Structure 1
Amino acid sequence: MNAETHLGYLLFLFDWLIRLAALAWIPVRCPPAAARSWLLLVGFVPLFGLPLYLLLGHPWLAKQRRQRQALASQLIRDRQANLAMLRWTPTAHGMSADITRLAERLGDFMPVHGNAVELLDDYDRSIAALVSDIDNAREEVHLLYYLMFDDAVGRTIFDALQRASARGVRCRLLLDAVGAKPGLRAFAKPLRDAGVEVHAMLAGGLKWRSLSRMDLRNHRKLALIDRRIGYVGSQNLADAAFVPGYPNRELVARVRGPVVRQIAALFASDWLIETGERLVIGEFPTNAEGSTPAQMLPSGPAYPFENARNLVVALVQRARRRVVLVTPYFVPDDMTLGALRVAALSGVDVQLVLSMSNNQRLTRWAQRSYYDELLKAGVRIALYRPHFLHAKHLSVDDEVALIGSINLDIRSFALNAEAGLVCFDPAVVARLHEVESDYLRDSQQLELHQWRRRPRWHRSVEGMARLADSLM
């Protein structure tokens, strides 16, 4: 037997050892759906699949980051114990009571009354409002964003922070190290020179291995002005057309009242996790600014559960008449998919609003693979035409609204740090219904019989893309 034959046998043996090791190891470390995807990849191409799994297969975080999140959660719960007068309690048992209890157990924050919530549906108006609030700040400005680009919007925010810092306002800026790389490269040094504290979240490059799985991202979009005004939503610090050909449409909630304290605590939590510094959260006004009960729902791999997924599923399951879900990326896990099907089959009007254009090609093909089974169950699917609909929100009956950065995909549920504002106010839900109706006027409703006429090769590509759902 020559050397080449020996080498062939060794490679064959090594190939099967990888497959068997993956079969014993991966199902223990991943949820079943993700394990199937990884086992399929490793089974087909072991020498490529195994290294990729070791890099991206498990959403692990460094022990220090998990400990800091646990400390932040405990501090939030301890501080809330002394603020019982702000707690909102639903008047009757029902959906709101269930959801407030679940959201608090998942994300630490209790429901609070006395908030004012303004929904900003115009991209330029939302940026202008944020800049105006920064220009009127007298004490502190805290910004936490996934994207910041070196473009007109990025430079506008940069200028506003410089002006605020020059007035003696304490400014802090947290940006995702990967998503906001252009903004960090352009603005970090001049902002620091101007007195603004700037930090990158989940640093990439050679640092990632000691911090977390390399593709975990902080996807939150939050702003806090003088402990009086907060922003929560889907909008980044970038021009609407930062992806050529896909101008974004967003939704942002500008809030005042006790829930702003929770935005401050969430920023302080991320600041602690990234820097190790515990920010002193000063006194907040306790007077009512409005009549909306609300609570923040943070989510991310540092929490014990998939907070965003669990809350979305609970909301869909408790809908009695109508649920509208708006998301740019729709690659759900089995639990979310099942909740949508069962709700529609139970007679609930389930309306899914997606964007006809999509800047993620693999995601676009994967999400199309779900349309047939959802349409067959009675879920209505609308494709919004004029822009890239990047807004992320959900409304249930006339009772609950969820607005924030949460996509309805596995990445958002399991890998990204996200933030959502849950509102228990028919007036806010009615305003959200107006926004949803505006989307639907400019959307194409899919019909099952028409959808099934698409080319057969589309179905094959969709199916293959769906197999990669846990890798996206």
Structure 2
Amino acid sequence: MNQLINAPGRLARRMLPFRRKPRARAELPFFAVPAAAIAVLPDPAAFRQTLLRLIAQASRRIVIVALYLQDDDGGREVLGALHAAKLRAPGLRISVFVDWHRAQRGLIGKQKSEGNAGMYRELAARFGPGVDLYGVPVQNRELFGVLHLKGFVIDDAVLYSGASLNDVYLVRHGRYRLDRYHLLQHAGLADAMAGFVQRHFVGSDAVRRLDLAGVPSTKSLQPAIREFRQQLQRASYEVPPATLTGGEVAVTPLLGFGRSDNALNEALLELLRGARERVLLLTPYFNLPRPVRAVLGQLLRHGCRIDIMVGDKTANDFYIPPGQPFKTIGLLPYLYENNLRRFARAHRRHIDSGQLNLYLWRDGDNSYHLKGLFVDDDVAVLTGNNLNPRAWSLDLENGLVLRDPAHLLQAKHAAEWAALRRHAVRLSDDRALENPRRYPAEVRRLLRRVNRVRLDRLVNRLL
């Protein structure tokens, strides 16, 4: 964060992706998944229990993709379970993919270390080979993009969540970071998601094992990373033709990478534009991309009801409570709250009428990491995409679009939304947010500095 505040304007140019010719829009292909095979898990404890149970029962394959697998009790529990599964079933194929940069550094604000990769090598030496752990470098530097793909494929099950793997996501020591958790049982969908990483990750010279000694430097991989990025620009999930019959939901896995010709971004915008009555949007960091803000404004003008839930700044994973040493990264929750304040002020009339409902989630000292979209009663999007400019153009993202014309999942979605609202309050207007004059002195000083040189726009684009 300190580097970013002091960075020159040339950083913005690094955000520009490879340009590609736009492709013609087509109907989204899909897997026909029985509605009964789609479950919504209620909380982080159920997510952890389900993940460990599936790992313990696995017989053919385990493919885990996450931003990181942390060197803490939660991460060690999962990695230990993977090694135990391999010892139990020697024929089991296990692959774990995490972000290359995130795996090889310590936590922000902590002392320098070899990062989570040290644990990977430690456990591989203790238990032996069989759990292949790969680092995926989406960009040459973490600041300009990370592996943000989601999904755990275990045999024919897809456990989909925006969560990574550590203590707080797995509620190991009382505190939790809330996400969404869905379990889909479908062989075709599992094959498509596992097949994607096998084709595009394992076969790339840029993607290297982190559980083995002799990990190459990022600098030595730069030509391979560039080729890898170009490959990802053209990549997609393989989805064969299907027809929808009674009792089934259409599920489409989509990839998102780059600013243009981004299948996930295009689908999200198309779904929003097609909204007739209601949109429900979930994001952990209120920093919506300009195209999304524009479509939401159009929907409000046309009378569509919009509900947006975001975490309170104190439920942001970058929030630093008063009394603790302040670091520059702690400015982010206040920047996001300022974004929300401006949005609420611009749409005060819609808030007053009840057409726009802005919810702030907070539950003690726990944090909020939800993302996703509901459109009317027949479309839902499960995704790790934070719905911010960084996700829109820098990170490698994916998502599952669920189209449910028969409203088979309506009760499950309604129950999920009702559970979320138990720890949320609706904003009456922009003045219900904390007055910036009451922010901590260090926050006020940094905000003045950022606003004075107009770096807030660049910060919003990169973080």
Q: TM-score, normalised by structure 1?
A: 0.69
- In the alignment, is residue 307 of structure 1 matched against residue 307 of structure 2? no
- In the alignment, is residue 215 of structure 1 matched against residue 144 of structure 2? yes
- Identify if the C-alpha distance between structure 1 residues 452 and 219 changes in structure 2 by more than 3 Å, giving closer, same or farther: closer
Is the 1:367–1:466 Cα contact (8 Å) retained in structure 2?
A: no
Q: Match for 2:416 among 429, 435, 438?
A: 435
Deviation at 1:423, TM superposition (A): 1.0
Query: CA offsets, 1:365-415, max 9 Å, x none?
Result: 333323322444443210001131212121111100101201110011111
- In the alignment, is residue 270 of structure 1 matched against residue 201 of structure 2? yes
1:246 and 1:447 mapped to 2: Cα distance?
A: 29
Equivalent positions of 1:271-310 (< 5 A) are 271-273=202-204, 274-275=206-207, 291-301=248-258, 304-310=260-266
Is the 1:329–1:367 Cα contact (8 Å) retained in structure 2?
A: yes
Partner secondary structure for residue 307 of structure 2: strand
Deviation at 1:290, TM superposition (A): 6.7
Is the 1:398–1:430 Cα contact (8 Å) retained in structure 2?
A: no
- In the alignment, is residue 446 of structure 1 matched against residue 427 of structure 2? yes
Tell me which moved more, 349-358 or 328-337. 328-337
- Identify if the C-alpha distance between structure 1 residues 337 and 376 changes in structure 2 by more than 3 Å, giving closer, same or farther: farther
1:470 corresponds in structure 2 to 461
Partner secondary structure for residue 401 of structure 2: strand
1:195 corresponds in structure 2 to 130
Deviation at 1:184, TM superposition (A): 2.2
1:376 and 1:416 mapped to 2: Cα distance?
A: 35
- In the alignment, is residue 373 of structure 1 matched against residue 346 of structure 2? yes
1:91 corresponds in structure 2 to none
Equivalent positions of 1:191-270 (< 5 A) are 191=124, 193-202=128-137, 209=140, 215-226=144-155, 228-240=156-168, 247-257=176-186, 258-268=188-198, 269-270=200-201
- Identify if the C-alpha distance between structure 1 residues 139 and 328 changes in structure 2 by more than 3 Å, giving closer, same or farther: same
2:417 and 2:455 mapped to 1: Cα distance?
A: 29
1:394 corresponds in structure 2 to 373
1:225 and 1:452 mapped to 2: Cα distance?
A: 43
1:157 and 1:289 mapped to 2: Cα distance?
A: 38
Partner secondary structure for residue 179 of structure 1: helix
Partner secondary structure for residue 54 of structure 2: helix
2:349 and 2:196 mapped to 1: Cα distance?
A: 40
- In the alignment, is residue 331 of structure 1 matched against residue 252 of structure 2? no
1:188 and 1:221 mapped to 2: Cα distance?
A: 23
Number of residues paired by the alignment? 376
Q: Match for 1:58 among 3, 11, 16?
A: 16
Kindly name which structure, 1 or 2, has the bigger radius of gyration based on alpha carbons. 1
1:375 and 1:187 mapped to 2: Cα distance?
A: 51
2:362 and 2:54 mapped to 1: Cα distance?
A: 32
Higher relative contact order (CA 8 A, sep 6+): 2
Query: CA offsets, 1:177-235, max 9 Å, x none?
Result: 233344322124533733222211118xxxx64xx786310012211112x11122211
Deviation at 1:315, TM superposition (A): 1.8
Is the 2:44–2:176 Cα contact (8 Å) retained in structure 1?
A: no
2:42 and 2:380 mapped to 1: Cα distance?
A: 15
- Identify if the C-alpha distance between structure 1 residues 120 and 141 changes in structure 2 by more than 3 Å, giving closer, same or farther: same
- Which amino acid is 1:359 matched to? D
- Identify if the C-alpha distance between structure 1 residues 351 and 51 changes in structure 2 by more than 3 Å, giving closer, same or farther: closer
- In the alignment, is residue 414 of structure 1 matched against residue 393 of structure 2? yes
Equivalent pairs: percent with the same residue?
19
Deviation at 1:452, TM superposition (A): 8.0
Partner secondary structure for residue 330 of structure 1: coil
- In the alignment, is residue 352 of structure 1 matched against residue 308 of structure 2? yes
Equivalent positions of 1:80-119 (< 5 A) are 101=26, 104=28, 110-115=29-34, 116-119=37-40
List runs of 5+ in structure 2 lacking aligned partners.
105-114, 208-223, 229-236, 319-329
Deviation at 1:111, TM superposition (A): 0.9
Equivalent positions of 1:78-157 (< 5 A) are 101=26, 104=28, 110-115=29-34, 116-157=37-78
List runs of 5+ in structure 1 lacking aligned partners.
1-40, 71-97, 105-109
- Which amino acid is 2:100 matched to? A
1:364 corresponds in structure 2 to 333
Partner secondary structure for residue 219 of structure 1: coil
1:107 corresponds in structure 2 to none
2:8 corresponds in structure 1 to 49
Is the 1:309–1:336 Cα contact (8 Å) retained in structure 2?
A: no
Q: TM-score, normalised by structure 2?
A: 0.71
- Which amino acid is 1:197 matched to? D
Is the 1:154–1:183 Cα contact (8 Å) retained in structure 2?
A: no
- Which amino acid is 1:251 matched to? R
- Identify if the C-alpha distance between structure 1 residues 307 and 465 changes in structure 2 by more than 3 Å, giving closer, same or farther: farther
Deviation at 1:312, TM superposition (A): 2.2
- Which amino acid is 1:437 matched to? A
- Identify if the C-alpha distance between structure 1 residues 384 and 165 changes in structure 2 by more than 3 Å, giving closer, same or farther: same
2:119 corresponds in structure 1 to 186
